[in-house]
Amino acid sequence: MLTCCLLYTVIGVSSIGVYGERHLAPAAAWAGAFVVCGAGDWLLGRWVFVPVFVAAFYGGMIVINLLTYPMLSFWRGWLRRRGLVAWYLVEVVGMWGGTTLLIVALAPWWLSESPGWVPLRALGCLLALVSVGVGTWACYKMGWARLLFAGALFPPGSGAEENRVPQRLVVEGPYRHVRNPLYVTDFALILGTALLANDPFLFLLAALYAAQLALQLPLEERELHRRFGLRYSRYCQLVPRFVPRTRPISPHEIE
C-alpha cells in the first residue's frame, strides 16, 4: 500500500505549469497506482487497496494543504534558509507520510466490509473511472510543475528560476474547460470510492476535502492573480472554477 501511495505525491497548485509540454511520468504514475491497487483488490475479492490508497493519499494531502497554504510566507522564508530537500523531508516524511501511516494503520477499524447497494456501487465505479481518466489527462498536461507544492512555494524572484519551477499558466487539455480539473476529479474520486466500497470514513473524507478546498482556493487564487495579473483574471472570467464549460477556450483568448 505504501508503494502505491508513493507512486503519486504530486498534487499542488491549481493552474501553474508549462504550457505546451507533455509529461508522461506523473500521468503514468497516477494511472499505474490504481491499476496496481485495483489488481490487488481483484485478487482479494473485496475492496481494500483502492479505498485505503484513496484515504491515505487524500488524507495526507488535506493535512499538507492546511499546513502549507495559510503559511506560504513562513514556508518560503524557511525554504530559503534550509533548501528544497529539507522541505521535501518535512512535507513528505512529516506531513504526508505521518498522516498516511496513521490512516493505513487504522484501516482495520475504518475500512468497511459491507458490499452496499448495487446501483450506488455502479455509480461509484463510474465516478472513480472517469475521475482517474480525467485526472491522468490533467497530469499529462500539468506535469512535475506541481511537484510537492514547488509552484506555490517558489514565485518569480524567490527561488523559481534556480529551482526550475515554471511560471506559466496551463491552458491546455482539461484546463481549457475548467480551472481546477484535478480538484474536481479528486473530490469525485473520493466520493466514487466511498460509494464503491460503501465506506463511511471516505464519505467523511470527501466532506473534509471539500471544506479544505473552500479554505485553500481563495488563498491559491490570490497567489495566481498576483503572479499572472490580467491574464489570470481573463482566464477566470472565461473558465469556470468547478463546472466544466462545453466549448474549450483557446489559449489566445486570455492574451
Q: Which residues pair with 168 in a beta bridge?
A: 17
Residue 100 burial (CB < 10 Å; 0-12/13-18/19+)? Answer: buried
pLDDT value of position 187: 96
Q: What is the pLDDT of residue 198?
A: 94
pLDDT at 253: 87
14 has a pLDDT exceeding 80: no
List helix spans (H) across the chain. Answer: 2-6, 24-44, 49-68, 72-82, 84-88, 97-105, 107-110, 118-142, 150-153, 181-197, 200-238
pLDDT at 139 over 90: no
CATH fold group of domain 2-254? Four Helix Bundle (Hemerythrin (Met), subunit A) (1.20.120)
The span from the CA of 250 to the CA of 255, in Å, is 10
pLDDT score at 235: 92
CB distance 19 to 172 below 8 Å: yes
pTM confidence score? 0.85
pLDDT tens for 148-182 read 455 556 655 555 555 555 566 778 888 899 999 88
Sign of CA dihedral 169, 142, 190, 133: positive
- In tens, the pLDDT along 72-121 reads 788 878 877 777 778 778 888 899 899 999 999 999 999 998 888 899 99
- Residue 19 — pLDDT band, cuts 50, 70, 90? very low
Mean per-residue pLDDT, 28-34: 91
The confidence score (pLDDT) of residue 164 equals 54
Whether residue 42 is predicted with pLDDT greater than 60 in this model: the reply is yes
pLDDT for the residue numbered 10: 33
Most confident of 12-26, 82-96, 232-246: 232-246
Binned at pLDDT 50, 70 and 90, residue 11 comes out as very low
| Residue-range domain boundaries for the chain | 2-254
* Range with the poorest average pLDDT among 6-10, 28-32, 65-69, 232-236: 6-10
64 close to 149: Cβ distance less than 8 angstroms:
yes
Mean pLDDT over 222-234 rounds to 85
Mean pLDDT of the chain: 82
* Measured distance between the N- and C-terminal CA atoms of the chain, rounded to whole angstroms: 44
